Structure 1
Amino acid sequence: MSSAEAWERFAAGSRPRRSVNARGEKTWLNWTQYPDHGPAEEILGPLAGRRVLELGSGGGDNLAHLAALGALGTGVDIAPSRKAAAEGRWGHLPGLDFRTAEAVDFLDGTAETFDVVLSVFGAVWFTDPGRLLPAVRAHLAPGGVLAFSHAPPASRKPPPGNSGIRHDHTPAEWRAILGGHGFREVSVTVLAPPAGETVGTLLARAVAG
């Protein structure tokens, strides 16, 4: 099974995001795996008029929020059905463009540059950083922001046959990897989970030199 087929199967089993959050907002950015938890878009800096790329954009919900704040958003997802779902829900918003592609293939094939690149439990977690980060760096404007989140490294070894699927790195490892690929002002932390949960969220932010 190809990566696109695997992600298409995953997409088929996923549920759309709620129509409103706990504050009654129709769009919002959620970095963690828990609803109404964690920081929002403030770590990305000013957004109005900025060119934003989301790698692994899924149903387009996070990117739609940034577009509602004035960003010009491009969402890339490897699963073909994600593009149709995102356009069906958010196609009425201006400044949004959803595409179907593997993250590195998209970056290698475009001449576009971006002010912000983000990934929420998306392509950064599932792509070799030795391939992905140089491609991201090549398409980030000077001073541009890369931000991403994923679950912290698993405390147990993956079952046989599942090693290498996710690129689990500790905060210290991510700091070294990002610094080694020319990023500066690197910040990597693990956000505590909400009450009653045990798994936090690794959140990273770095700036292109």
Structure 2
Amino acid sequence: MSLAESWDRYAVESKPRRTVNARGETTWLNWTQYADHGPDENVLGPVAGHRVLELGSGSGSNLAHLVTLGATGLGVDVAPSRETVARERWGSLPGLEFRAAEATEFLSETDETFDVVLSIFGAVWFVDPDTLIPLIRSHMAAGGVLAFSHLPPGSQGSQATRSGLRHDRTPEEWRRILTGHGFSDVTVSLIEPPEGRAAGTMLVRAMAH
């Protein structure tokens, strides 16, 4: 089974995102695995007028929110079914496009430059960072922001997943990897889970220098 087929199978099992959140908003950005929890798009700084790339864009909802704030967005997801769902839901939104591709293949072929790159439980968690991070940096404008989230290391063990082992890294390891590949001002924070939930969320932010 190919990587795309594997993730397509997983996508079929995923619940669609709600159309309205607890605050009554029709678009929003959520860094964590829990509804209505954690920080919002302010992690990225101002996005109006910026070109944004999301690696592992899923149904497109997070990226669509940034486009409503004035960004232009490109979402890349390895699962073709995710691209289809994203286009069906958000295809009428100007300045937003989606593409089915594996992250490293896309970055190796594109000549675009981005001001913001984000990955929410996406490609940064599932692709060798020593391969992916330099590719991301090579397509970022100086002063651009990279931000990504995933489960804290060890929170689910080291079991195999659909795309092999998850690339869990400690905060110290992320700082070393990112600074070694052309990023600065690296911050790593742990978002505590809601009451009654065990696993928090690791959120990493860095600037391209």
TM-score bucket of the superposed structures, by smaller chain: over 0.9
Alignment of 1:100-179 (within 5 A): 100-155=100-155, 157-159=157-159, 164-179=164-179
1-structure distance, mates of 2:8, 2:68: 27
2-structure distance, mates of 1:58, 1:156: 22
Q: Which runs of 4+ in 1 moved over 4 A?
A: 161-164
TM-score by length of 2: 0.96
Q: Is the 8 A contact 2:155 2:199 kept in 1?
A: no
2-structure distance, mates of 1:61, 1:67: 10
Question: In the alignment, what sits opposite 1:80?
Answer: 80
Q: Indicate whether 1:92 and 2:96 are aligned.
A: no
2-structure distance, mates of 1:17, 1:139: 30
**CA 1:11–1:156 in 2, change beyond 3 Å: closer, same or farther?**
closer
2-structure distance, mates of 1:141, 1:158: 34
Q: How many positions carry a matched residue from both structures?
A: 208
Q: Indicate whether 1:33 and 2:41 are aligned.
A: no
For residues 162-191 of structure 1, the C-alpha deviation after alignment (integer angstroms, 9 at most, x for no partner) is: 595200011111111111111100001111
Q: Percent identity?
A: 65
Unaligned runs of 5+ in 1: none
Q: For 1:141, give the aligned amino acid.
A: A
- Structure 2 counterpart SS, 1:199: coil
Say what the alpha-carbon RMSD is for the aligned residues.
1.3
TM-score by length of 1: 0.96
1-structure distance, mates of 2:139, 2:21: 33
- Structure 2 counterpart SS, 1:94: coil
For residues 69-107 of structure 1, the C-alpha deviation after alignment (integer angstroms, 9 at most, x for no partner) is: 011000000000111100100112111010010001001
Question: In the alignment, what sits opposite 1:206?
Answer: 206
For residues 109-134 of structure 1, the C-alpha deviation after alignment (integer angstroms, 9 at most, x for no partner) is: 00000000000000000000011011
Q: For 1:92, give the aligned amino acid.
A: S
Question: In the alignment, what sits opposite 2:18?
Answer: 18
Q: Is the 8 A contact 1:171 1:190 kept in 2?
A: no
Give 1:143 shift: 0.3
Q: Indicate whether 1:48 and 2:48 are aligned.
A: yes
- Structure 1 counterpart SS, 2:141: strand
Give 1:31 shift: 0.1
Q: For 1:135, give the aligned amino acid.
A: L
1-structure distance, mates of 2:84, 2:4: 15
Q: Is the 8 A contact 1:152 1:200 kept in 2?
A: yes
**CA 1:69–1:174 in 2, change beyond 3 Å: closer, same or farther?**
same
